[in-house]
Amino acid sequence: MAAANSHFLDIRGCSGHLRMHQHSGRWLLSEASSHSLARTSLFNIQSKMSFKGLLKDEDVAAAVQAFAAADSFNHTQFFAKAGLTGKSDDDLKKAFYLVDQDKSGFIEEEELKLFLQTFSAGARALTDKETKAFLKAGDVDGDGMIGVDEFVTLVKA
């Protein structure tokens, strides 16, 4: 969806919000949007490259496709389909740090919402219902986030 006035253009979609401005008759991405877009694109490239050797592309694609419909996500089934179940603790920790987009050491609710996009840039965002259920399943200590050990336990459950 796009909204414009004489100087700004806001573009909102399922994966974010871009703001453009007009300068000398040309539309340019605002600085914040260009940084966000670059960071997101770089993250998606790094994630895809980083899952190489850890997971098979065809398994990841099948797992993402299996949960393409809204409110269909099941973390246990996703982990199995993607090939995470049965991986070593070290491999699961590598996967955790790819999902932890802001590198805080925790997977927060917003990162869980974008969980499928971590594995495939074109995937959908999880619904609020799916995100909250996923967080509830993994947040053992009740701090509102999933730590690395909680993630390993969740995948192995």
Q: Are 120 and 9 in contact (CB under 8 A)?
A: no
Kindly state whether residues 150 and 111 are assigned to the same domain: yes
| Same domain as 69, residue 36 | no
Q: How many domains does the chain have?
A: 2
The H-assigned helical ranges of 52-114 are: 57-66, 75-82, 89-99, 109-113
Name the band, by pLDDT with cuts 50, 70 and 90, for residue 74: very high
| pLDDT score recorded for residue 38 | 42
Q: Do 62 and 136 sit in the same domain of this protein?
A: yes
Do 59 and 33 belong together in one domain? Answer: no
What is d(CA 44, CA 50) in angstroms, rounded to the nearest whole number?
Answer: 10
User: Where in the sequence is the domain holding 95, given as residue range(s)?
Assistant: 52-157
**Looking at the whole model, is its pTM more than 0.85?**
no
Q: 104 and 147, same structural domain? A: yes
Whether residues 71 and 107 share a domain: the answer is: yes
Assess whether 32 and 90 both reside in one domain.
no
**For 85-106, what is each residue's pLDDT tens digit?**
999 999 999 999 999 999 999 9
Residue 16 CB neighbours (<10 A): 13
Residues 73 and 144 in one domain: yes
